[in-house]
Amino acid sequence: MSGAEILGLVIKSSYLVAATLFLLGLQRMASPRTARSGIQWAGVGMVLATVVTFFIPGLQNIGLMLVAIALGTVLAWVSGKKVAITDMPQMVALYNGLGGGSAAAIGGVELLRWSAAGQAPGQTALVLAVLGALIGSVALSGSIIAWAKLDGRMDKRYAFPGMQVFNAAVFLAAVVLGGLVVHSLGVPAVAAFFLVALALGVLMTLPIGGADMPVVISLYNALTGLAVAFEGYVLGNEALIIAGTMVGAAGMLLTRLMAKAMNRSIKSVLFSNFGGGGEAAEITGSQKPIEAADVAAMMAYAERVVIVPGYGMAVAQAQHKIWELSQRLIERGVKVKFAIHPVAGRMPGHMNVLLAEAGVPYDLIADMDDINPEFRNTDVSLVIGANDVVNPVAKTDPASPIYGMPILDVVESKNTIVIKRGKGRGFAGIENALFYADNTRMLYGDGAEMANALVSELKALDGGH
């Protein structure tokens, strides 16, 4: 066996090891207890795949590659250190879009190279390059729009009459231009194809409402993985094929689970007005305020307390104080649980990340299906920052834009306390009937400040200890 053959075998074997580490890392991410090590395993696999790539015979532009890796590493490290936990969904959306853009760039470079040479290495590679470029471009521009919406830089939903028909025409144009690229490999066709593909991602995301953002982020993650897998085939890189396929499959599975949790189809997420506001039935009654001292006493002498966190808790950075409050209740013999809706927050697992950061044990965190039957036997439910995911109109008002979405049945609790800054609406832009229920009281104020007040009141009840 020649030296070149041995080197090729080592490279392919290293890619296989890297792919195995990706798979094992993904498997370990299935549990909060092993997720950190799963990320580390996958990171080691990524480093291995990157280093081995530099040993591919005939590799060019090594200097540019090193500069790009250095810049990317520094920018990611700095931004990752600085980003607030409330901005994590925006960062995930943006980084995911960059992954899709990278895959699209690979396809673009290869298409232009083949255009200059006058031919492609094969019809399959050519078709997959175009498909990967299309999907990656949509993921890039769509993720940027999702980032802008999540970051408050753009309205949560934008649509115009006949937009679905227009979007369908743009999609058809992208397909036609993609076919033209496959047929002719002309530079003008490649440029037009990319422009239309990027426009398609923007147009697809503009009309999607805020309540659907977690599903959208997950869907674009799946598309990015698929694009990477296609371009991995184009480059003949096994690591990209396997890693992209895993990301695509995992992302699509998560998207389906998220859509199911909202009683939605992916089609309805992309082509309907969910989460964009609507003409729901008028809610009668009034919001009834309560003081922190009364809430503390109510919780201190309760048998069961369920805490329902939402995005507002992340904004207030109240997770640590909420956990301190929970610990004091547990010390008094109160049974405390945390209830997590699958789409609470702005991205999948957002609340789980917050609670893990605060040190909440995993066995105290319950998902929606497990906790819902327990609400009717719960003495006090404390809602902090959650809104749409506890809104009863999802079950009672067919005119509501969130009708049909499974919710946490907080309204069935004996008493419900809602910590809220004011009387504003949730991300879906509608009133919450829970706030007007007979058994609900509103504790107005900043989440962290109110949690701190509750801790202080509990200390007073315990004689200052």
Active-site residue set: 388
Torsion of CA 416, 422, 425, 431, to 10 degrees: 50
The angle that helices 350-358 and 88-117 make with each other, rounded to 10 degrees, is: 130
Residue carrying the six token digits 């600085």 = 82
DSSP string, 262-295: TT--HHHHHHS-TTS---PPPPPS---B--HHHH
- Would the CA dihedral through 402, 405, 411, 417 be positive or negative? negative
Secondary structure letter of residue 432 according to DSSP = -
Least Cα distance to 53 among 236, 243, 226, 230 occurs for: 236
H or E element in which residue 306 lies:
strand 304-309
Query: What are the tokens at 236?
Result: 């003949």
Q: What is the DSSP string of 30-85?
A: TSTTTHHHHHHHHHHHHHHHHHHHTTSTT---HHHHHHHHHHHHHHHHHHHHH--G
Tokens of 282: 């008028």
SS3 at position 256: helix
What does the block give as tokens for 83? 């980003």
